[in-house]
Amino acid sequence: MQALSGDPKIYASSAAAFFAGARSAMTSVYVVVLIGTYIGLGALAHDVGLSSVWMMASTIIVWAGPAQLIIISAVGTGGSLIEVAIAVTLSAMRLFPMVVALLPMMRKPGTRLPEMLLPTHFTSISMWIESLRLLPYVAREHRIAYCNGLSSGYMGTAVVAGYVGYFLAAGLPPLLASILLFLTPLSFFLSTVNNARQVIEKIALVLGLILGPLLAYWQVGLDLLWTGVIGGSIAYAYGRYRRSAS
Amino acid sequence: MKEAMVSLGPYFVLILVGFLPNEVWRLVGLVMARGLNEESELVVWSRVVAIALLAGVIAKLILFSSGELAGVPTPVRIGAAVIAFAAFMAAKRSVFVGVLAGEVALFAGAAWYAA
C-alpha cells in the first residue's frame, strides 16, 4: 500500500506512471478478489463446455464479472440470445455513471478522445473504486497512464486466474466455491464503505444498501437503476441543501 | 444459447450478447463526460448515483445469492458481512482484515449448518 499523502506525484515518464499503476494493482486487495472471482468463472466456463481461449477472450473484451457470469451460466441453463443480451445490458448500466464520474478526473486541456477509449473500456467496479481513491495522488498529466497500468494489472490477473480456474474445475468443492463467490460482494462492500468519506457518499451508500434489495423484493422493474437514481439523487439533494444553507 | 453457440460460432455470440450490450454503457458515459470537469454538477450526481447503485448490487449479491453461495443459509451470509464490517472498523479500516474475517465467518457458519 502506498502512502496516501502530500502533493500529486509527478512521474519521470508515462511508462513509469503505467508501471506504478500496475504495481499498485498487484498490492491491492482486488488482486485476491479477482483471482477468486475468475477462478470461479473459469471453472463454470469449463463445466458448461466453453473453451479456455473463449474464457480468456471474454475477460478481455467484456471485462465485467456480472455480465460474464450471466453469459456463461446461460450457456449451461438455457435462455435465448435476446434474453441474455437484455440481462447483460441491465447489469452493465452501472458502468455509465461510473465512466461519467471517472473520466473528468483524468482529462486535462488538450486530451484527445482516443486517449480516453482505453480507460473507458477498462472501467469496472474494482478499477473504479481504486482509481477514485488513488488518482488524486497522481499528477494529472500521468493519470491516464497510471490508470491504464492499474487496469492492465487487474485484467492480466483475471485472464490468468480464469485460465487456471478452467483447469481446476473438476476439483472445486462446493464450500470453496461459495467462499470464492462471497469475495466479490464482501470486498466491494468494505471498499465502498472505506471510500465513502463525504457525507453525501455515506448517504448514497446506506440508501443503496437498503433500496437495492427492497426494490428487488417488490419486483420493481429495473430495480438497480432506480436504486442508483433515487438513492443518489436524495444524497445529491442533501449536498445541494447543505451548500446553500452554509 | 447452446444452439446459437454452435450455429453462429462462440466468438460471434460473445460479441453479440456479451461485448456490445455491455460496452454500450461505457461509450454512453464517454460521450456524456465530454466537456465536464470534476466539479460539474452532473459528475457529482453521477458519482453518488454510482455509489448507490453499487451498494444495491452488493446488498443483492449478499441477500439473493446465486450459484454455490445460494447453498449457504441467508443468516450466515448476512452475519458474515456484519462480522466483516466490525473487523474492518476494529482494524482501523483495513479492507483486507475485514474480507478475511468475513470469509472465515462464512466458512465457519456454513460448516456449522452443514454439520
- By Cβ distance, the residue of A78, A99, A185 closest to B26 is A99
Residue-level pLDDT at B105: 98
Residues of B in contact with A211 (CB under 8 A): 52, 56
The complex's ipTM? 0.86
DSSP string, B58-104: HHHHHHS--GGGGGS-HHHHHHHHHHHHHHHHHTTS-HHHHHHHHHH
The tens-digit pLDDT sequence of chain A (246 residues) is 445 667 889 999 999 999 999 999 999 888 988 998 898 889 888 888 899 999 999 999 999 988 898 888 788 776 788 888 988 898 888 899 999 999 999 998 889 999 999 999 999 999 999 999 999 999 999 999 999 999 999 999 999 999 999 998 767 788 888 888 888 889 889 988 988 889 999 999 999 999 999 998 998 878 888 999 999 999 999 999 998 887
What is the C-alpha separation between A58 and A51, in angstroms, rounded? 11
Residue-level pLDDT at A26: 95
The structural domain count of chain B equals 3
A residues 191..220 contacting B (CB < 8 A): 191-194, 196, 200-201, 203-213, 215-216
Shared domain for B75 and B112, answered yes or no, is yes
Residue-level pLDDT at A11: 94
8 A C-beta contact, residue A22 and residue A150:
yes
> Could you tell me the pLDDT band of residue B15, with boundaries at 50, 70 and 90?
very high
Across the interface, whether the CB atoms of A227 and B29 are under 8 A apart is answered no
Shared domain for B103 and B114, answered yes or no, is yes
Shared domain for B28 and B46, answered yes or no, is no
Across the interface, whether the CB atoms of B60 and A212 are under 8 A apart is answered yes
Segments forming the whole domain that contains residue B24: 1-34
8 A C-beta contact, residue B78 and residue B62:
yes
Nearest to A195 by CA among A30, A65, A8: A30
Shared domain for B69 and B91, answered yes or no, is yes
Shared domain for B75 and B113, answered yes or no, is yes
Question: What are the domain boundaries of chain A?
Answer: 14-193, 196-246
Shared domain for B72 and B110, answered yes or no, is yes
Cell output for A143: 493519470
Q: Give the distance from residue A151's alpha carbon to the nearest chain B alpha carbon, in angstroms.
A: 15
Shared domain for B27 and B5, answered yes or no, is yes
Across the interface, whether the CB atoms of B67 and A181 are under 8 A apart is answered yes
Across the interface, whether the CB atoms of A204 and B62 are under 8 A apart is answered no
Cell output for A181: 463467490
Testing the interface with A: which of B3, B40, B48, B103 to mutate, by most A Cβ within 10 A? Answer: B48
Model confidence over B57-104: pLDDT tens digits?
889 889 987 777 888 999 999 999 999 999 999 999 998 999 999 999
Shared domain for B113 and B70, answered yes or no, is yes
Across the interface, whether the CB atoms of B1 and A79 are under 8 A apart is answered yes
Q: Mark residue B33 as left, alpha or beta (left: phi above 0; alpha: psi -120 to 50; beta: remaining).
A: alpha
Q: Give the distance from residue B86's alpha carbon to the nearest chain A alpha carbon, in angstroms.
A: 10
Whether chain A has a CB inside 8 Å of the CB on B73: the answer is no
Shared domain for B100 and B55, answered yes or no, is no
Whether chain B has a CB inside 8 Å of the CB on A184: the answer is yes
Higher per-residue pLDDT: A180 or B9? B9
Cβ pairs A/B, distance under 8 A: 305
Residue-level pLDDT at A5: 65
Shared domain for B78 and B114, answered yes or no, is yes
Whether chain B has a CB inside 8 Å of the CB on A53: the answer is no
Across the interface, whether the CB atoms of B18 and A68 are under 8 A apart is answered yes
